[in-house]
Amino acid sequence: MRSFPTKLSACAIAAAALLSACGGGGTTTDTTAPTVTITDNVSATATGDVTFTFTFSEAVTGFTVDDITVTGGAKGTFTMASTGLSATLVVSPTANSSGTINVNVAASKFADIAGLTNTTEATATQAFNTVTTPTPSANLVTNGNFSSGNTGWTGNALNVLTEGGNSYNSANVTAAGNPWDVNLSFPLSIPNSNVKYKLRFKAQSDRARTLIAGIGLASDPWTNTVQTVTLTTNLQTFELSLTSNFASTNSRVIFDMGAAAGAVSIDDVELVLDTSIVDTPISSGVLSLSTGFASKTLSASGGAITNSGGSNFDDYNCTGGAAVCGGDAGGAGADSFAYFYYQTTTPATGLYSQIEIFGPNVTGLKTDGDTGGVTIGSQTKVNFNFNPNPQWFNSGAPKMGVVLTLGKRYAIGGGCHIQLHGVKNITSEGSTAYSMNLRDDFRVAQDCGTGIAPDNVNAALAASPVVSSFKVLGAGGTAAIEGRGGLKSTANLSVKTGDVYPTTVALRGAITFD
């Protein structure tokens, strides 16, 4: 059997190698403070009540609903298990709104049988959207209105679309004097995100001018697709093809009439599916980025395996000085595994420990062209089996980071690849199967100059549908990565074993998309 660094505890080694937990004999005095981990029953964005589960490291007493702080929702039914090992709380998110539920248990809120109170706080977050969206008509436009909020507007200030209608008839909104956006706000419910759209409208001007038209977010109207058209004094019909995912109740149609004073009339605005260019999924079913591990440097599918770690003690590059790092692999077939650990002798303010698995027969990201991998078509989830070390799991609200690197190379600097970042709650100390939704759990963290909005994963996969590598990491403090909804990854910065603080990332078996 391979020898491990002497500073790594036997328990940490066992967790890293996905073996049974360590144990011991004899009677000892309880000096370990209890901890709590908070999880919930919703894997994507919540649309209704969310049940949060509080799992304690040992039996506790004195924990009540008043010890839980909740923002973004209202507390409901609270239940404490008779064993003292767990509790549940139902939280109702704010009605007809979107945001994040935040749940927190501060230090000194519960105690174990020995009377020791928790010394660390625990937090959890859950994105929600309870906005009531009308059933869309065939052309995807639902109830809405023209509005301005500016006294310079003339013409009809309000035109409400009847449910099931096809256009905003006789809107004829004009602007006089300084230019202002003509904003048409309406909720959207997109049944298929792998599509393109057409924006249809009629427009004319009091003189020749350029009109900017498109779709954006109410909070930042120019983040999505906009185009320019040339207006004349004749009424013209325009049809613009747009590429983006507008599945947001915060979207709006944007018209900007430019710098010249005067008037522009807009009429018969429609957003319709462009069925002639609907993106056909390239692949369907289950795709395997890796079927297992052949060694600590090669997956069973022929893809390279790389790992690294570091902290503020070694400029985030493990040198074996202030910190010790290493990794290995073992097992066979579905039980094959690979792991990497990083540890410090004193608590770090920021550290990371990661392992990266490349696609079948991919040895690394190319700098002179696109990189291969698995092509995402109708797949919506990435699936994998992950195992943290006990110290990380017991450090309070553990969250792993996951990074997907896409294959298309953009010629920026030495070459750039779009990256998707996700963060997932770790629910078990043991080897556990996890699944993450590509479009709901990830954000575009590196857009390579494409201008793709952070939440628009659909656009990123449309621009670069090949996933070249999967990376899982423990990253905390100043090294934490951010996933969807502001969720941050963690690492073990507080729980000591022997004379070190270890963070171990371990994967077992296949990494798939379905």
- Mean pLDDT over 151-162 rounds to 29
User: Largest alpha-carbon pair distance within the chain?
Assistant: 92
Query: At CA 40, angle to CA 503 and CA 98, rounded to 5?
Result: 110
The C-alpha angle 499, 505, 508, rounded to 5 degrees, equals 135
User: pLDDT tens-digit profile of 80-110?
Assistant: 999 999 999 999 988 767 788 989 999 999 9
| Exposure class string for 378-414: b at 16+ Cβ within 10 A, else e | ebebbbbbbbbbbbbbbbbbbbbbbbbbbbbbbeeee
Terminal-residue alpha carbon distance, the chain: 36
When pLDDT is averaged across residues 473-491 and rounded to a whole number, the result is: 94
Q: Could you read off the pLDDT of 25-65 as tens digits, one per residue?
A: 344 577 899 999 999 999 888 888 999 999 999 999 999 99
Give the separation between CA 267 and CA 432, rounded to whole angstroms.
Answer: 56
How does the average pLDDT of the chain come out, rounded?
76
In percent, the amount of the chain with pLDDT more than 90 equals 43
Give residue-wise pLDDT tens across range 180-192.
344 444 444 443 3
Q: What is the pLDDT of residues 328-357, one digit of tens each?
A: 999 988 889 999 999 999 999 999 999 999
Phi and psi angles of residue 458, each rounded to the nearest 5 degrees, phi first: -55, -45
Global pTM value:
0.51
* Distance, CA of 262 to CA of 209 (rounded, Å): 10
Q: Reduce the DSSP state of residue 102 to 3 states and report it.
A: strand
Rounded to whole angstroms, what are the CA distances from 439 to 220, 322, 425? 20, 39, 17
Question: Which of 266, 268, 245 lies closest to 457, judged by CA?
Answer: 245
What backbone phi and psi angles, to 5 degrees, belong to 113? Answer: -65, -30
What DSSP string describes 233-267? SS-EEEEEEE-S----TTEEEEEE--SS-S-EEEE
Is 360 or 146 the better-scoring residue by pLDDT? 360
366-386: pLDDT as tens digits: 887 888 888 887 788 999 999
